[in-house]
Structure 1
Amino acid sequence: MKKIIILAVIAALAASITANALAAEPAAADGQQTAPATPPAGDVKPSAPANVTATALPATPAKTTLIGYVDMVKAATDCAQGKAAFAEMKTKTDKYKRQIEAKQKQLEKQKAAIEAKIETMTPQVRAAKAKEFQKKVEDFQKFVQNAEKEMRAKEEALSGKLFKAIEKTAADYGKANGYAAVVVKKELLYMGENVDARDLTEEIVKGIDAKPAEK
């Protein structure tokens, strides 16, 4: 009898527990009061305070690119080194010009003298005079060619030294004053909004004159 009473109590307790569980499920569904699932620790993000208003950050101003340009002809003719080079070239050119003109006049006189007496010359003398005159003409042509060759070499040497002086001065000035580049002046086809192009010819001339010319 005692055993039957114990089994009855256990059955009653089981029925009570089952009823409470079934009653709790609808209540949770109706009130939406079930505890939310806890997100993984890595996915938790702090929420922004309610009273904080988002403000746009000021735009970073675009950086201006500084570029310089140089008028090579003006720089070469205005600097002291360039003036000295042109003066030297003019002196040599004038000297050769006077020599060539003198030799040419001498040849013209000799030609006129031969032509004046050619009718009285024997064939042998005429041939000798013609050969002699031809030799003088060839010598004159060689003199002119050598003069032109020497002048070209001299011009290239002076121009090379002058260009190196301009190039070095432009590089030193550009580095010292924050220029992105210093270029030879040309017709500008396009320049962006943030590019500041400046004529540095006068500054380069001053820079060249401030340094001793290289030998």
Structure 2
Amino acid sequence: MCGLIGKNLGMTSIFSKDGENIPCTIVYIPLCYVVQVKTINNDGYFSVQLGIKEKKIEKTTKSLLGHFKKAGISPKKKLLEFKCDSMPSFQIGSSIKINIFQEGELVDIKGISKGKGFQGVVKRHHFSGVGESTHGQHNRLRAPGSIGAGSDPSRVFKGKKMGGRTGGKNVTIKKMKILKVDTHQYFILLKGSVPGNKNSYLMIKKRKWN
């Protein structure tokens, strides 16, 4: 299996056998249901669409209701697609458990980072600013400075580092170590932090080579 969908429950810490305090993230992984299986013949690539968490029928659109009805399962709140290298062996409507992961395994975590709103260049791009308030620079401490010439080219080049919306992007952290797998309470402990707020959804992908 390529991976599962998890929910970020926040951070904690555990002690190793050597007494080291290790910060880790608790990720809740309930049963994931196979909603759709894509193949090269029909879609041009191999992938599995998974869904978790029940959703009320009255809050589901008719098109999605037909999609879930075709799979023979109840509507799910979160759907994510995992690409595969070969034909998936899972059948539509079947469930996948957390036990596909093992302690000590390395996985890739993908999520949406925390949104920080409109930010200036110091916070967004780590500009240092003027650094001193002398020589009349009373209001330029966190300013971006010059952004280009005037007459030629008479415009700002695309990709210029300026202020703007920060965060809220897809972020992938590779090679995160699984410290613990609890098959009874359906959660895993990941070493370190993951992108996103508490209760945000994560894609937990298995790596080809650990």
TM-score computed with the length of structure 1 as normaliser: 0.15
Higher RCO structure, 1 or 2 (CA under 8 Å, sep 6+): 1
TM-score computed with the length of structure 2 as normaliser: 0.15
